[in-house]
Amino acid sequence: MIDLHAHVLPGLDDGAADETAALALCRLALEDGIRTLVATPHLYGGLGVADPRMIPAAAERLRQRLREERIDLDLRWAAEMPVLENVVELYCTGIWPAYDVQRRYVLLEMAPLVNGLAILKETVFRLRLEGAVPVLAHPERLDFLDRLADVEGLRNQGAVLQITAACLLAPGSSSCRRATEWVHRGWVQVVASDAHDPVRRPPRMAAARRWLAEREGEACAADLTEGNPGKILAGEPL
C-alpha cells in the first residue's frame, strides 16, 4: 500500500518525537503492508508545526537510518497545510511542498470552523485557478460537511477526498458515518493513516483495507490504498 499521510519525521511537529519513535513507526508501517510512506509534517497555523526548510534534510536523514536498519520502506515527503489567508501564495512560491514533482497535488487541512464551508470552497477555488489539486485531509471530521450536496460541490470543484483509515474502524462516530457514506458513493479517492506515533496513533491501513474490501470490493480497496495514491505521487489525473 501507499500511505500519503504520516507525521513520521522526528521532532518536526506533533508526530514522532525522536528518531527511535520514527523508526518504530516505520517498522509498524511496513508490517501493516505499507511500502511507500509519505511524511507530511504540519506547517504553520499553531504549535508543533514544522519549518518547511527543515523537511528535506529530516527526510534524507530518516532515509539513511532506514537503510542502516534495513527497513525496506520507500520514504517520500510533502506537507500538511492548514487553510490560511496566504495559502495560495505559499503554493505559488513553492514553500508548500507538493506530493508530485509537477506540483499538482497538495495536502490541505481545514479547521472545523462555523463558517468553514465558505472558506474551504473559496480556498479550493483559488488553488484550482493556479493549477493545484487540493487533497483534503480527513474531511470526514468536518461537521459542516454533513450535507451531501456540499461534499459533491467540493468534488465538482476538483478537490480530492482523503479520509483517515482509523475513522472507518470507529463505528458510531459522525466521522465514520460520513466517511462510510462517501466511500459507498465512490466519492473518496484516498485512504491514508495520518499516523503520529507507534502507540497512540499507529498506522491502521491493513484493517481499513480489509474493511473496504469486505464492504465495497477488492477493486475499491486497491484503488483507495494503492492505485490513486500512486497516481497522486506521479502527478497523474485520477
**Residues near Fe ion, by CB under 5 A:** 80, 194
Q: How far is the CB of 104 from Fe ion (least distance, A)?
A: 20
Count CA within 13 A, CB hemisphere, residue 151.
24
Residue 42 or 155: which CB sits closer to Fe ion?
42
Kindly tell me which of 107 and 132 has the beta carbon lying closer to Fe ion. 107
Q: Which is nearer to Fe ion, 49 or 212 (CB)?
A: 49
CA distances from 138 to 7, 156, 166 (A): 14, 18, 10
Helical H segments across 104-217, by residue range: 116-129, 148-157, 165-168, 174-184, 205-216
Residue number of the CB closest to Fe ion reads: 194
Q: How far is the CB of 61 from Fe ion (least distance, A)?
A: 21
Spatial distance between the Cα atoms of 129 and 119, rounded to a whole number of angstroms: 15
CB of 126 to Fe ion, least distance (A): 22
Least distance from Fe ion to the Cβ atom of residue 5, Å:
6
Task: Look up residue 226 and give its DSSP letter.
Answer: I
Nearer to Fe ion, 3 or 194 (CB): 194
> Which one, 80 or 223, has the nearer CB to Fe ion?
80
What's the CA angle centered on 113, arms 126 and 38, to 5 degrees? 65
Smallest separation, CB 137 to Fe ion (Å): 6
Question: CB of 2 within 8 A of CB of 34?
Answer: yes
